[in-house]
Amino acid sequence: MSFPAYVELLMNLTRREVKGRYSQSLFGAGWAIAQPLAMMAVFTLVFSRLGQMPSGGAPYPLFAFAALVPWFFFMNSVSSGTLSLVTYRNIVTKTYFPREIVPIAQVGSRLVDLSAASGLFAILLIYYDVQFTPWSALTPVFVGLLVLFTLGTTLATSAINVFYRDVSPVVQIGLQLWLYLTPVAYPLSAVPEKYRMWFLLNPLTGVVEGLRSVLVFGRAPDWDVLAISASLIAAVFAGALLLFKKTDKYFADVI
């Protein structure tokens, strides 16, 4: 197969995932909006109203939703991507192609969800009369880092899951815990200083905090936090790709 054929395969698998997810769904892509919207409502009640969590002067629903949109993209991509090679075992075992196309297609299909949720976020920005600033132009940088980290994580978990099928439930539990170890419901500034370094080792911290800074607060991101997250994301992606390429020759025999 040639490179254009691989690209076509990637596009076909991505379309198949999107159609399979929404073709017989009453609300379709609306579920991509419902997930972060419902969590935003819960976080607003629990963390803002009851817990009096600070939001830096921004409306708390907007503050939370800005982080929930990238979080759900990451979580859903990794959840489905972890199982992707096993799900597509028929083509993995019978046809030669770069195996990374399968988990990449899972992440690509979730871009539809990300776009739908981002549309609602844009409406919330207008509703709360948030003014765009030149710093908003950095949004693609943070989205790019988010996608790169999601790809890296998905490549790693999907490869390991071929050999150890209990990886998937471990990933599900890990994602549940990861949500609360990421500054989604709270700002990084609310984390005690003695624990902050541990939170900075979470690559999603820089993405979430950066998106809030440039879109909700209209200011420059914390460059130190961004540099740490970008370095970690680059390392995770490179390591995950190396792991995937070293193990993919065994997939057909093990899967």
Instruction: Give the C-alpha separation, 169 to 167, whole Å.
Output: 6
Largest Cα–Cα distance in the chain?
A: 58
pLDDT at 28: 63
Residues of the chain with pLDDT under 50: none
pLDDT at 117: 94
Token pair of 236 as six digits: 């995770």
Of 82, 47, 69, 253, the closest CA to residue 169 belongs to 82
Whole-angstrom distance between the N-terminal and C-terminal Cα of the chain?
22
Of 249, 233, 84, the closest CA to residue 161 belongs to 84
- Residues contacting 171, CB < 8 A, separation 6+: 78, 79, 82, 157, 161
Rounded (10°) CA dihedral 17, 66, 173, 193: 150
Of 91, 219, 78, 214, the closest CA to residue 149 belongs to 78
pLDDT at 51: 87
Of 74, 107, 34, the closest CA to residue 205 belongs to 74
Q: What is the CA radius of gyration of the chain?
A: 19
pLDDT at 113: 92
pLDDT at 3: 82
pLDDT at 50: 85
pLDDT at 123: 95
Instruction: Give the C-alpha separation, 182 to 150, whole Å.
Output: 15
At position 65, the amino acid (one-letter code) is F
- Give me the phi and psi of 220, to 5 degrees please: -70, 145
pLDDT at 1: 66
